[in-house]
Amino acid sequence: MPTVSIGDVRLNVVEEGSGRPLLFVHGFPLDHTMWRAQIEHFANTHRVIAPDLRGFGGSDVTEGTVGMEQFADDLGALLTELEVTEPVSFCGLSMGGYIAWQFFERHRDRLGSLILCDTRAEADTEEAQSTRHGLAAKVLKEGPDFIARTMPAKLFSTRTREERPDIVDTVQAVIRSTSSAGIAAAARGMAERPDATGLLPQIDLPALLIVGEEDAISTVDEMLEIATRMPAAEFKVIEAAGHMAPLEDPAAVNSAIETFLLDNAY
């Protein structure tokens, strides 16, 4: 897998296909492989770019705290290194969505459209911040196995857990292989992320918001509220999916993204 140096880190990145650039940004605590079905599908029509964020997958780890601003700047630097000159369609899930808000603020000129899957705009509550800092401390002490054991109940719908245990097993394996320091740094960064709700009315780009019908982390109602605050947003619910809609029903998610990209070609 190619490695690209950007400043103080090297990022692993998948780059396939040609055409308009389509950037896939993974969630926490995963890596680019969560987008495998999307990479395979859209490489037929687009220049697909799917990195492992710093601290995840095969990319270098930064200890301490990595904020959403840093992740956004990493992606901007990556696009520069890859000589991407066209505006990109930015597709992020969960933490990838948190990064998208910062990418819009800091690298607006690089964006052509936004695709936001199962994410939130509000900052963490004090309770959520405390939980994330607790997770960071625990993973550094115990390793990521406890996350792999407990997260699937929140990540996946009941149907997925019952009918597709292979997907759950794959995600658990990715989590177990992830750097504890990388997980901790991103968890702290998410705890400290700024509230993006005030930014929503300014995002006049074409946007598609996708949410799993049974998402317990970023609910249908919450994501619909985000969509209504954005001037040019479309909204799609994926039936019987949870927080990991692109993995749980890739055909439905791919179809929604494909239609959106065709309708909003630039």
The pTM for the full model equals 0.97
Burial of 205 (0-12, 13-18, 19+ CB in 10 A): buried
For residue 35, the enclosing domain spans: 3-263
Q: Which residues contact 97 (CB under 8 A, 6 or more apart)?
A: 116, 117, 118, 119, 120
CATH number of the structural domain spanning residue 168: 3.40.50.1820
Number of domains in the chain: 1
- pLDDT tens string for the chain (266 positions)? 689 999 889 999 999 999 999 999 999 999 999 999 999 999 999 999 999 999 999 999 999 999 999 999 999 999 999 999 999 999 999 999 999 999 999 999 999 999 999 999 999 999 999 999 999 999 999 999 999 999 999 999 999 999 999 999 999 999 999 999 999 999 999 999 999 999 999 999 999 999 999 999 999 999 999 999 999 999 999 999 999 999 999 999 999 999 999 998 76
- Kindly state the tokens that stand for 168: 């759950």
User: Are 241 and 218 contacting, i.e. CB atoms less than 8 angstroms apart?
Assistant: no
Q: How many angstroms separate the CA atoms of 133 and 177, rounded? A: 21
Residue 24's DSSP bridge partners are 91
Cα 244 to chain center, whole Å? 10
Edge-to-edge order in the sheet of strand 233-238: 3-6, 9-16, 47-51, 21-25, 88-93, 111-117, 207-212, 233-238
SS (H, E, C) 181-245: HHHHHHHHHHHCCCCCHHHHHHCCCCEEEEEECCCCCCCHHHHHHHHHHCCCEEEEEECCCCCCH
